[in-house]
Copies of this chain bind each other. A is one copy, B any other.
Amino acid sequence: MFEFRIDAESGAGRAGILALPHGTVATPAFMPVGTQGTVRALSPLDLEKIGAGLVLANTYHLHVRPGEDTVARLGGLHRFMSWGGPLLTDSGGFQVFSLEGLRTVDEDGVEFQSHVDGARRRLTPERAVEIQWTLGADVAMAFDHVAPGRVDQATSRDALERTLRWLERCRARHDALAAGSPGRQTLWPIVQGGIHVALRRASLDGTLAAGDWTGIAVGGLSVGEPKVEMYETLTQLSPRLPRAVPRYLMGVGFPEDLVAGVERGIDLFDCVAPTRNGRNGSAFTDDGVVNIRNAAWKDDPSPLDPACDCETCTRYSRGYLRHLFVAGELLGLRLLSLHNVRYLIRLAGALRREIGKDNLGAWAADWRLRYLNSEAV
């Protein structure tokens, strides 16, 4: 039920098939983010049409509102959001550590203030696992202590060691819950350690020693550090990651990061960038980012991205899309979000295809040359 098969490899890149209770996912794959049980501005039918496989939802947000018990009473997360395909929930760790205001970490867990009503709440490794079990996604994530991108080694070490201790507690609670219905949900651990190679190795070693996992995540990247440092950390870490399970780079998903991640052996990505940027009028294309509000598009009858097969690019002109944004129309938010998510899904598909042809490096170099050297307008 939680199987991963590698079909092809090219350099460090891998093409695989991940089988989960609610369906299979071809990797490399980009996961759209449904923070509050909905991928912002898109419907599940939109996601189906653009070929989304695995979709992510945020445990912290759903716990705070509407609450996991409400989600369960409404049939569980799949039924709740009307998404029949595979789902993954994060653990709430990242969100809790990103919150402004009150937040107290101790060995037991984290006390925080809800961003909705200011109420004090507490998340522990056990609670994070229980909430995710109640939500019922195919994949749950371990509760981790996330440190900001460029903290010193001591802080980073402290966070990763706590994450390892919490991992034991997450696993114990998850094993107890899953004993009653094995095959319902799997738990993936998160490797921490910031941009410190030695710490990443320590975190990985501890994680692998703690269990026999069906997948493994790399957390704590793309949290403020320069991109080159993120890429270098992945380059160092990647050869040591277990080969047989999917590798998930959390919170990363600009087009250039997807390509760089796949070249470094990553299989799964998630990021709010395609929907957030889409709502801001910023669109991904092979020729770089297009700002749809630009006056240059006022009378332009051409599609946003002539290479794209999505509804946005096959039905509407740049001139119309610009009008929707300038006029403040809701349809614009949806159409650019739709295109951006489709762009990343297509990009992951292209990377998969090139891995199959053992042509990943050359294709990625060409793609980068075009994407990064275009004059964005």
- Selected from B41, B70, B315, B320, the residue in CB contact (under 8 A) with A74 is B320
Count of this chain's copies in the oligomeric assembly = 2
Q: How far is the CA of A297 from the CA of B317 in the complex (A)?
A: 40
Given contacts A74-B319, A299-B73, A334-B43, contact A66 B326 (CB under 8 A): yes
Is A44 part of the binding interface, using a Cβ–Cβ cutoff of 8 Å?
Answer: yes
Would B334 and A65 count as touching, CB distance under 8 A? no
Given contacts A319-B74, A330-B334, A331-B43, contact A38 B324 (CB under 8 A): yes
Chain A positions 187-213 with a Cβ under 8 Å from a chain B Cβ: none
User: A43 to chain B: which residues have CB within 8 Å?
Assistant: 311, 331, 334-335
Is A154 part of the binding interface, using a Cβ–Cβ cutoff of 8 Å?
Answer: no
- Selected from B37, B61, B73, B323, the residue in CB contact (under 8 A) with A66 is B323
Encode A293-312 as 1/0 by CB contact (under 8 A) with B. Answer: 00000110100000000010
Is A75 part of the binding interface, using a Cβ–Cβ cutoff of 8 Å?
Answer: yes
Would A70 and B319 count as touching, CB distance under 8 A? yes
Is A158 part of the binding interface, using a Cβ–Cβ cutoff of 8 Å?
Answer: no
Would A36 and B327 count as touching, CB distance under 8 A? yes
Given contacts A45-B311, A80-B320, A326-B65, contact A70 B299 (CB under 8 A): yes
Q: How far is the CA of A331 from the CA of B82 in the complex (A)?
A: 12
Tell me the smallest distance from the CB of A68 to a CB of chain B, in Å: 12
Given contacts A301-B73, A317-B74, A324-B38, contact A333 B330 (CB under 8 A): yes
- Selected from B38, B40, B66, B311, the residue in CB contact (under 8 A) with A319 is B66
Is A223 part of the binding interface, using a Cβ–Cβ cutoff of 8 Å?
Answer: no
Q: How far is the CA of A213 from the CA of B40 in the complex (A)?
A: 47
User: A319 to chain B: which residues have CB within 8 Å?
Assistant: 66, 70, 73-74, 80
Is A289 part of the binding interface, using a Cβ–Cβ cutoff of 8 Å?
Answer: no
User: A350 to chain B: which residues have CB within 8 Å?
Assistant: none
Would A65 and B320 count as touching, CB distance under 8 A? no
Encode A256-277 as 1/0 by CB contact (under 8 A) with B. Answer: 0000000000000000000000
Given contacts A82-B315, A317-B74, contact A41 B323 (CB under 8 A): no
Tell me the smallest distance from the CB of A286 to a CB of chain B, in Å: 24
